[in-house]
């Protein structure tokens, strides 16, 4: 019943004597399964109930410096002060002591290409050259099932190592790539949304599908994967320039036929790309309007980048409930531009963050928050740490219409969470030792933190990454 991994201890309350602990329940239930049904995690617990806004609106979040998160059968049963809740625990509860660390809902990466894992850090290009010279050749290899599986395994392990428990993932044009990523996610019990890229023009022949084949392949993948455990499908036209009007019409038809499936694509990322989209679709008011025309704007539709959208575009995103995914790490690396996050949120658009691996250079949402802060500074405003962590958890869950399942510790939510170590590096330890306020600590985590600050990651209450012990393994 007792194991010690790193500096978190796991022990059964049946063996624990606490000064104010009174047994509730019974010692009679003794099967191993029953013993592990209820788990409790002690640490500083933070989750959001609402958007804290720019000034950390009180009541928008719940924080217990010495808190307890109680999980039953992989779902949140309760959260509160440790001293209040510990006495009420059943005697068979497994208690994990993460005192001094921060327990937060798992991060959500709302835009990431798993098929670009091996091209991160390609020197010296902007978007359109990068696609031609680096990305398309690398994606070609995903026709091979063994390659796709090997990369998918590495990729999901890397998500978990970085505290990401849910991701919206773009595959390659090949069905095999989507089978591979869902298979890897399923093995770990993760929540993933993924789709095959639809692309039938303006790309190498070896990556082209057709309007008909992309419709049929996407439909087959929806039937195979959508709603299977925690897997959900995203209809994924890569971006308007690489789809014919026929293919976009097929994507729109598929979306109409499957209202609970996601739509996922890129929009208005880089000026050359925007000009190209205009040339290809001169009859449309804007790049976003191309997608709108084909019925692709709606709730459960996520548009990556959106740096160059205008006010009318933002109003359409808001009106339709579609989400914008801010990918500042990629945007800086590629020189694509500085999204005005404040303008987008003030327009009422739902926003989430994406790493956008492999145009992005880190799997860490902490690093993405850091870059989002800097980009906001360059835009003349500040991204508050509370807002940043909200957007990486509950805000993203809302943007993806998943807040009924993940993103917070409200009762009944799936217990995906991360344990962050505020003393992960000598510098973090030194700086956080004098930081008393929550906002200050969060800001230091997003300024100085990365994968090293992720002590543990739990997926539905199950330890799925342990920095100081187990590596991530399939169930």
- Residue 273 within binding range of Zn ion, rule CB under 5 A: no
Report how many residues bind Zn ion under the rule CB under 5 A.
Answer: 2
CB of 236 to ligand GUN, least distance (A): 10
DSSP 123-156: TT--HHHHIIIIIHHHHHGGGSHHHHHHHHHHHH
Task: Indicate which of Zn ion, ligand GUN, none lies near residue 422 (CB less than 5 to 8 Å, by partner kind).
Answer: none
Distance of CA 396 to the CA centre of its chain: 7
> Helices 438-448 and 385-392 sit at what angle, rounded to 10 degrees?
70
Task: Indicate which of Zn ion, ligand GUN, none lies near residue 157 (CB less than 5 to 8 Å, by partner kind).
Answer: none
- Residue 131 within binding range of ligand GUN, rule CB under 6 A: yes
For ligand GUN, the closer of residues 188 and 238 by Cβ is: 238
For ligand GUN, the closer of residues 93 and 265 by Cβ is: 265
One character per residue 288-317, x = contact with Zn ion (rule: CB under 5 A): ----------------x-------------
CB of 363 to ligand GUN, least distance (A): 15
Q: How far is it, in rounded angstroms, from Cα 298 to Cα 292?
A: 9
Q: How far is it, in rounded angstroms, from Cα 292 to Cα 289?
A: 5
Nearest partner of 264 among 211, 302, 221, 300, judged by Cα: 302
- Residues 99/66, Cβ–Cβ less than 8 Å: yes
Give the other-Cβ count within 10 Å of 202's Cβ: 18
CA angle 425, 472, 68 (to 5 degrees): 65
- Residue 313 within binding range of ligand GUN, rule CB under 6 A: no
Nearest partner of 152 among 167, 132, 135, judged by Cα: 167
- Interacting residues with ligand GUN between 361 and 420 (CB under 6 A): none
Distance of CA 108 to the CA centre of its chain: 2
For Zn ion, the closer of residues 72 and 131 by Cβ is: 131
CB of 386 to ligand GUN, least distance (A): 28
Nearest partner of 378 among 416, 328, 322, judged by Cα: 328
Q: Which of 153, 209, 356, 421 binds ligand GUN (CB under 6 A)?
A: 356
For ligand GUN, the closer of residues 131 and 344 by Cβ is: 131
- Interacting residues with ligand GUN between 214 and 273 (CB under 6 A): 238-239, 266, 269
Beta-bridge mates of residue 386:
none
Task: Indicate which of ligand GUN, Zn ion, none lies near residue 135 (CB less than 5 to 8 Å, by partner kind).
Answer: ligand GUN
CB of 86 to ligand GUN, least distance (A): 47
- Residue 64 within binding range of ligand GUN, rule CB under 6 A: no
Residue closest to ligand GUN (Cβ): 359
Task: Indicate which of ligand GUN, Zn ion, none lies near residue 131 (CB less than 5 to 8 Å, by partner kind).
Answer: ligand GUN
Which residues, 6 or more positions from 237, have their beta carbon under 8 angstroms from its beta carbon?
A: 197, 198, 199, 243, 247, 248, 251, 265, 296
Stretch that binds ligand GUN, among 89-97, 127-135, 381-389, 438-446 (CB under 6 A): 127-135
CB of 113 to ligand GUN, least distance (A): 5
List of long-range contacts for 402-408, beta carbons under 8 Å, 24+ apart: 402/166, 402/191, 405/191, 406/105, 406/106, 406/108, 406/165, 406/166, 406/191, 407/48, 407/105, 407/108, 408/47, 408/48, 408/49, 408/105
CA angle 221, 227, 230 (to 5 degrees): 110
- Residue 113 within binding range of ligand GUN, rule CB under 6 A: yes
Q: Which of 108, 322, 330, 396 binds ligand GUN (CB under 6 A)?
A: 330
Stretch that binds Zn ion, among 78-86, 349-357, 442-450, 462-470 (CB under 5 A): 349-357
For ligand GUN, the closer of residues 106 and 195 by Cβ is: 195
CB of 302 to Zn ion, least distance (A): 11
For ligand GUN, the closer of residues 139 and 401 by Cβ is: 139
For ligand GUN, the closer of residues 85 and 296 by Cβ is: 296
Q: How far is it, in rounded angstroms, from Cα 317 to Cα 323?
A: 7
- Residues 278/287, Cβ–Cβ less than 8 Å: yes
For ligand GUN, the closer of residues 281 and 390 by Cβ is: 281
> What single DSSP character describes residue 19?
T
- Residues 168/462, Cβ–Cβ less than 8 Å: no
> What single DSSP character describes residue 15?
G
For Zn ion, the closer of residues 40 and 304 by Cβ is: 304
Q: What is the dihedral of CA 298, 301, 306, 308, to 10 degrees?
A: -30
CB of 18 to Zn ion, least distance (A): 49
- Residues 237/169, Cβ–Cβ less than 8 Å: no
- Residue 356 within binding range of Zn ion, rule CB under 5 A: yes
CB of 265 to ligand GUN, least distance (A): 8
Report how many residues bind ligand GUN under the rule CB under 6 A.
Answer: 11
- Residues near Zn ion (CB under 5 A) are 304, 356
- Residues near ligand GUN (CB under 6 A) are 113, 127, 131, 135, 238-239, 266, 269, 330, 356, 359
């Amino acid at each position: 019943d007792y194991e010690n991994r790193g500096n978190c201890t796991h022990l059964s309350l049946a063996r624990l004597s606490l000064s104010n602990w009174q047994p509730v329940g019974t010692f009679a239930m003794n099967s191993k399964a029953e013993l592990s049904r209820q788990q409790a995690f002690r640490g500083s617990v933070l989750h959001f109930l609402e958007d804290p806004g720019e000034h950390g609106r009180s009541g928008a979040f719940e924080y217990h410096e010495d808190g307890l998160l109680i999980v039953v059968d992989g779902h949140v049963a309760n959260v509160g002060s440790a001293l209040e809740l510990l006495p009420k625990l059943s005697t068979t509860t497994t208690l994990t002591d993460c005192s001094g660390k921060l327990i937060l809902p798992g991060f959500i990466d709302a835009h990431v290409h798993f098929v670009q894992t091996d091209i991160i850090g390609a020197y010296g290009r902007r978007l359109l050259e990068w696609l031609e010279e680096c990305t398309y050749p690398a994606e070609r290899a995903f026709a091979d099932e063994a390659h796709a599986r090997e990369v998918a395994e590495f990729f999901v392990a890397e998500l978990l190592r970085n505290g990401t428990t849910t991701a919206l993932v773009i595959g390659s044009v090949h069905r095999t790539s989507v089978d591979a990523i869902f298979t890897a996610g399923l093995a770990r019990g993760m929540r993933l949304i993924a789709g095959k890229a639809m692309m039938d023009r303006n790309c190498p022949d070896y990556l082209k599908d057709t309007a008909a084949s992309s419709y049929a392949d996407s439909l087959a993948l929806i039937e195979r994967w959508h709603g299977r455990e925690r897997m959900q499908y995203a209809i994924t036209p890569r971006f308007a320039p690489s789809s014919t009007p026929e293919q976009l019409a097929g994507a729109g038809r598929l979306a109409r036929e499957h209202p609970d499936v996601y739509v996922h694509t890129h929009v208005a990322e880089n000026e050359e790309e925007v000009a190209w989209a205009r040339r290809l679709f001169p009859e449309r008011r804007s790049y976003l309007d191309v997608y709108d025309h084909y019925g692709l704007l709606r709730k459960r539709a996520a548009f990556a980048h959106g740096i160059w959208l205008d006010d009318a575009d933002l109003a359409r995103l808001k009106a339709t409930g579609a989400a914008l995914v801010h990918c500042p790490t990629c945007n800086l690396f590629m020189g694509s531009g500085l999204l005005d996050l404040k303008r987008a949120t003030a327009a009422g658009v739902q926003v989430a963050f994406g790493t956008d691996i492999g145009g992005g250079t880190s799997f860490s949402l902490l690093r993405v928050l850091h870059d989002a802060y800097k980009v906001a500074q360059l835009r003349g405003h500040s991204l508050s740490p509370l807002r940043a962590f909200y957007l990486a958890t509950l805000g993203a869950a809302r943007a993806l219409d998943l807040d009924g399942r993940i993103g917070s510790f409200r009762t009944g939510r799936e217990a995906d969470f991360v344990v962050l170590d505020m003393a992960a590096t000598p510098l973090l330890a030194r700086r956080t030792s004098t930081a008393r306020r929550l906002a200050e600590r969060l800001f230091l985590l997003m300024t100085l933190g990365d994968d090293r600050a992720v002590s543990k990651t739990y997926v539905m209450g199950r330890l799925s990454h342990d920095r100081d012990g187990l590596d991530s393994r399939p169930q």
